[in-house]
Structure 1
C-alpha cells in the first residue's frame, strides 16, 4: 500500500467508493437519503467538501488502484478553537479492505494537523460500520456525539394524560422571557458529570435573537408544557438544513433541536408529551423524517431519544492530542 496526496485524478474512484459506502450504510438505515448511492451525487459531495477552506488529504493505493481515502478540514472557531474534522463524505474504503487502512490514513493526516496547531480531532463515521469504528477506537478516538434519525410515517402518542397534567401548547412572542429563563438549563445540565461540556457565557449573547426568530418562523415550532402558570419544559422543531454534500438528512426532514424539562418535574412524561406533540405537528406539515443529535455521555438523552424511536446514523468520534507534543522533543540538553 502507498499513501499519496489526494488530487483530482482520484476523484472518480473516490466517488465510487463513497457511493458504495453509502449504499451499505443505507442498507442498514433505509431512511438515509438515496441520492448519494449514485457515483455522480457522491462526487458532488466530495467536490463540495474539497471547496471548503483548508481541506486536503490522502489516497491509499494498492497496485495502482484506490482502496481508500481521507479528506480532512481544519477549522478555527470559538467552540473548538483550532480543530481538524473528517466529515462524513470525507472518507471511504473499498469493499473488503482492512479497516486498519483508516489508521494509516489518519496517521498521515494527523501529522499535518498537529503541525498546523490542531490538537482536537473529529471523525464522523457510520454507526452501522462496526469494523471501521473499531479501527478508529484503536487510533485513540472516543465516542462523543450521536446523530440519529426516525421516520414520521407513524407517530405513537404517549398514554392518556391523567387529570391535572401539564398543558401542551405552541409558544408565542409573549413567552420569550420565560423561554430565555429556561434556555440555560441545557448548558447547566451538559456541564455536569459525566458530560463535562463547557458552555461559555459568550455563547448566550445571541439567544434573544435566536429565540425571537424561532417564534416568528413560519415553519419553526416551540412547544411548551405549563401548569398553574409555571413553564415546566419546552421542545423546538425546525425544518432541517441540508448543506451541500451532506449525507445524513433526508429531504422533507424536521430537526428536533432542543428538549428540556425542569429537573424537579422529570420522569412524569412531560418530555414524551412535548416530543409527541412536535412530531405529530411535523407530520401534519408534510415532514417525513426527524433528525436529532446528542452527547453520548448525556445519560438522560442517550436513554430517552432511542426510546422515542431514533436510530443512530453517524457517530462523532473525537481525540484530544496532548498539546505538550508541540514543544516536548524527548531529549534533555547535555549538562
Structure 2
C-alpha cells in the first residue's frame, strides 16, 4: 500500500512540485497511511493480484454537522497501481459502498488528487460531483493585483480584536445562498462557522486583517500556520487562508484585491512561501477570483448523495 501511495505522490509532484518530496519515500508514505488507519471508525479494502497489492481504499465513518452520517475518503486513501485499468476504482467503490449503504451512510465524500484524471473520471461516472477545490499560491511569484479600491484601509487585528470576525461570519453563507450555489443557510452551519472563528481567537500562528471603508469593516482575511497533519498536501513554510469574506453589498469594487494584496504581502514578509485555501466549486465568484490571483488547485473534493430510499426500496 505504501509503495502505491509513494508512486502516486511522485506522479502528483511532477504536476505540482510544491508538494513535499519526502512522501515519495515508502517509509514516509507508510507513516502517513498509519495516521489514517489509527483514526476512529476507519475501515478499508485491499485489492490483490496473486500476492501483490494493486489497489486500496480506506474510509472513515463520520457524523457531519451539515451532511449527517457521512463516509469520508481522504487524499492518501484511494490509490490504484498505475498499470491497472481505471475501472478498478469503481469495483472497489462498489464493494465498500454496499457496506456503507447497509450501515445507513448515504453521503459519500472523496478527496481526489487533481492530477489523477482517471480516478476523477471514474468517480464522475459513479454519480459523484465536484464540490470543493483546494489550492496553493506561491508567494514568491505573487504580484500585487491591479484594481484596488483606493477608499479602503487595511489593518491587522490584535489578538483581543479578533472576536469582531464573528460578526462578519454570515457574509460567505449569505453569498452562497444566492444563484448559482443555492446553498441553504442553516442555524447549525452559522453556529459552526462562528465556533470555528472563535477557535482561532488568540491562537498561536493566527493572523487576521480587516479592510475598512468609512470606518466600517467591509472584508476580512484570517490566516493560520499550516497544520503538520496535512503535510502530504502542504508545502513547507505554508499558511492557510482559513476564511476570507467581503460584504455582499460591496462586492465587485476592488475590496477583495485590496485586502489580498496587503495581507499576502505581509504573510510573505513573515517568511511564508505558500498560501493554501479552498472554495466551493458552485461559488462562481470564488472559482474565478482565487485562480486569477494565482492559486493552483491540487485537490478536489467530490461528493455523492445516495437516495436513502434504497434502504427499503431495493426490490427485495
TM-score by length of 1: 0.88
Q: How many residues of Structure 1 are paired with residues of Structure 2 in the alignment?
A: 316
* C-alpha distance 208-104 of structure 1, shift in aligned 2 (>3 A): closer
Cross-structure match for 2:32: 45
**Mapped pair 1:22 → 2:3:** no
* C-alpha distance 174-62 of structure 1, shift in aligned 2 (>3 A): closer
**Mapped pair 1:285 → 2:262:** no
CA–CA distance in structure 1, aligned partners of residues 148 and 300 of structure 2: 35
Alpha-carbon offset, residue 264 of structure 1: 2.8
Of 65, 76, 85 in structure 2, the residue corresponding to residue 98 of structure 1 is 85
Of 135, 141, 144 in structure 2, the residue corresponding to residue 157 of structure 1 is 144
Does the 8 A contact of 2:211 with 2:220 survive in 1? yes
Of 94, 108, 119 in structure 2, the residue corresponding to residue 132 of structure 1 is 119
**Mapped pair 1:227 → 2:223:** no
Cross-structure match for 1:239: 225
The SS at the match of 2:133 is strand
CA–CA distance in structure 1, aligned partners of residues 217 and 280 of structure 2: 25
Of 71, 76, 84 in structure 1, the residue corresponding to residue 63 of structure 2 is 76
Does the 8 A contact of 1:143 with 1:315 survive in 2? yes
**What's the C-alpha RMSD, in Å, of the aligned pairs?**
2.1
**Mapped pair 1:171 → 2:157:** yes
**Mapped pair 1:327 → 2:312:** yes
Structure 1 gaps of 5+ residues are 1-13
* C-alpha distance 93-272 of structure 1, shift in aligned 2 (>3 A): same
Of 181, 188, 195 in structure 2, the residue corresponding to residue 202 of structure 1 is 188
Rg comparison, structure with higher value: 1
Alignment deviations for residues 114-164 of structure 1 (CA, whole Å, 9 cap, x no partner): 1111000011111122122111111111111101111122331123757x5
Structure 2 gaps of 5+ residues are none
Does the 8 A contact of 1:59 with 1:66 survive in 2? yes
TM-score by length of 2: 0.93
